[in-house]
Amino acid sequence: MNIINYNQVFFEDLVDMYYEMTKEIYSHKHIGNKQMFYREIDRITNDNQYHIVLAVSNGKVVGFSKSYIDYHSGLYSPDYYTELLYVKPSNRGSKALYMLAKNIDLYAKENGLDNVINARIDNGFSETIKKHYNTISSFEKLEQRN
């Protein structure tokens, strides 16, 4: 298992994973045409604001994260915000989640930023993250601000 910055070689894999993630999370909603997912991945991978990191095992992408430095329009100090952190269901018992989250945590620490992760609370995912890393939930961060 390796953690690498996004590489165009894995474009199709990332599109497929983003599509599957969306179907899993929003199973109760109508999911748009897959072409829209190609457009979205093209947009975010060409936007230097985003840090797209992949978990790769045996040449296959098994997970990814999408993070960025949120400057909050200069209203208060920036945070390292992880908007998406996903591991394929078949790889959730592997080290993919651990390695992706560790990479996020390390980047935040190295840059003196709070580590804010947008994580689901209905599947234990957020508890796994919180157990191993010094993270702040988006809700707690907003409460601190107010």
Q: How confident is the model at residue 116 (pLDDT cuts 50, 70, 90)?
A: confident
Q: What is the pLDDT of residues 40-78, one digit of tens each?
A: 999 999 999 999 999 999 999 999 999 999 998 998 899
Q: How confident is the model at residue 126 (pLDDT cuts 50, 70, 90)?
A: low
Return the pLDDT at 97: 87
Return the pLDDT at 19: 97
Return the pLDDT at 134: 59
CB atoms within 10 A of CB 61: 23
The whole domain housing 36 covers 2-145
Q: Which of 57-61, 96-100, 118-122 has the lowest mean pLDDT?
A: 118-122
* C-alpha to C-alpha distance for 145 and 129, rounded to whole angstroms: 22
The number of distinct structural domains making up the chain is 1
Quickly tell me which residue has 């070689």 as its tokens: 9
CATH number for the domain harbouring residue 98: 3.40.630.30
